[in-house]
Structure 1
Amino acid sequence: MASRIEGFDEEILSCAKEEFLEKGYTDASIRTIAQNAGVSTSTIYTRYSDKEGLFRFLVEPVAKGLKELLRQSLSDFSSLTGHEQNEKFMEYSDRGFEAVIAYIYEYFSEFKLLITGAPGNYYQEFLEGLVELDTNCTKKFLIQVGSKALAEGRVTDGFLHVVSSAFYSGIFEVVIHDMPMEEAKNYINELRAFYGNGWKEYYRK
């Protein structure tokens, strides 16, 4: 993806975001976006290739930003010893999800487009990227705390994928339903508690 040009892309992307939010991806008009941004349609096609290219240019930096935020948080936790992970699990989890919620609400409109209106498999690909990070960290955690769940086959790659996918899909319900931020915090904390209690069975040695 090309780098953003200050003062050029901002106006087009602002108009594109408004058009996509109002009409959805399918009904959004490149012509309307161009008119509102004060540029020609050929300028948009030259810069972004097509409507999907424009959409991706709008939401991809935000999607990558959340993935990097999650990657860094999980990497920091994975670098701890097994004993430290047991002792500091909630501390790292609380801090990580506070950052995730803040990031989602900072770019709420972009996430609204990404989750509810992305073309093709774009949202699913985004979700799969988060799930891959999460499941890899979970496997390392189970091994480091001495759990036998993996070795005994009680936890498999397929099981991890389903649980993680359901969890992150649940988190994004706050965007789908336009939850106020404080309500979203409470909801996500309850969601974490629900999944956390289920995982306790597998954390045992």
Structure 2
Amino acid sequence: MPGRIAGVSKRLIDVAREEFLNNGFENASIRTIASKAQTSPRAIYTRFENKEALFDAVVKTGFEEFKAMYTKEREAYWERAKKRDFSVEPEKIYVKFIEYAYEHKDDFILLLKCSKGTRYENFCKDIADYEIKGVEDNVPVLFQTDSGEAMTYFVESITYSFYDNLFSPLVSGMDLKTAKEYVGMLTRFYTLGISMGEGKALFEK
């Protein structure tokens, strides 16, 4: 079997990134990617099992880095919360997330707008589900009342809404400074909603 030509995989990923950004995963064309990368569809399938594997290669590094950062920050937050330590304001954590998204703009546009048909298409919902579990595990008193069913629905609703809107400044083209201000406002609104669900200022210092 002939050896692979050095640099072809990187060129494919660069061209694929542009094609996915322009057309989304579902409408992206392997033939177009191959043509622009000056190779053949067969060469692509030699390196990547299918179109989704190519999409995965484009976004995986940014996604995995964000996932690791997100998980670390949220776990650390809940550990501090158990000790009633709220020295790190929630909005500072989420501002860090939006800063990362702006630094990796193409990856996040792909995840947020272009990933339908891939395992990433529920990106925001998956994060929200993780957050909801964190609330359920760390603030169980919220759900241990006669209104437990309503509270579950409430927490799910505001959490899904929060994450659906967290990265909207990036998608809309807002500048980073304004986006950070927006995320601060959004986070304070969200955490206050969770706090009031418990009947007291859960997140106050």
Contact 1:101–1:185, Cα closer than 8 Å, also in 2: yes
One-letter identity of the residue aligned with 1:199: I
TM-score (norm 2): 0.81
Deviations 1:121-153 (A, max 9, x none): 63443223212221122234424xxxx422115
Instruction: Report deviation, 1:33.
Output: 1.5
| Residue 108 (str. 1) matches residue 105 (str. 2) | yes
Instruction: Report deviation, 1:83.
Output: 4.0
- The change in CA–CA distance for 1:183 and 1:81 in structure 2 (over 3 A counts) is closer
> Structure 2 CA distance, aligned partners of 1:160 and 1:69?
23
One-letter identity of the residue aligned with 2:109: K
| Residue 197 (str. 1) matches residue 192 (str. 2) | yes
Contact 1:78–1:140, Cα closer than 8 Å, also in 2: no
- The change in CA–CA distance for 1:162 and 1:24 in structure 2 (over 3 A counts) is same
Aligned Cα RMSD in Å?
2.4
Percent of paired sites with the same residue: 25
> Structure 2 CA distance, aligned partners of 1:159 and 1:128?
15
In the alignment, which residue of structure 2 is the partner of 1:44?
A: 44
One-letter identity of the residue aligned with 1:163: I
> Structure 1 CA distance, aligned partners of 2:121 and 2:33?
26
In the alignment, which residue of structure 2 is the partner of 1:69?
A: 69
Deviations 1:175-204 (A, max 9, x none): 321222112111111211222332231244
Instruction: Report deviation, 1:73.
Output: 0.5
In the alignment, which residue of structure 2 is the partner of 1:3?
A: none
In the alignment, which residue of structure 1 is the partner of 2:125?
A: 128
TM-score (norm 1): 0.81
> Structure 2 CA distance, aligned partners of 1:96 and 1:107?
17
Instruction: Give ranges in structure 2 of 5+ residues lacking alignment.
Output: 1-5, 201-205
| Residue 10 (str. 1) matches residue 7 (str. 2) | no
> Structure 2 CA distance, aligned partners of 1:31 and 1:69?
36
Contact 1:134–1:164, Cα closer than 8 Å, also in 2: yes
> Structure 2 CA distance, aligned partners of 1:77 and 1:84?
10
Question: How many matched pairs?
Answer: 193
> Structure 1 CA distance, aligned partners of 2:81 and 2:98?
27
> Structure 2 CA distance, aligned partners of 1:8 and 1:203?
56
> Structure 1 CA distance, aligned partners of 2:7 and 2:96?
29
Deviations 1:53-107 (A, max 9, x none): 211221233223222211101111222363433x32xx25233223211211111
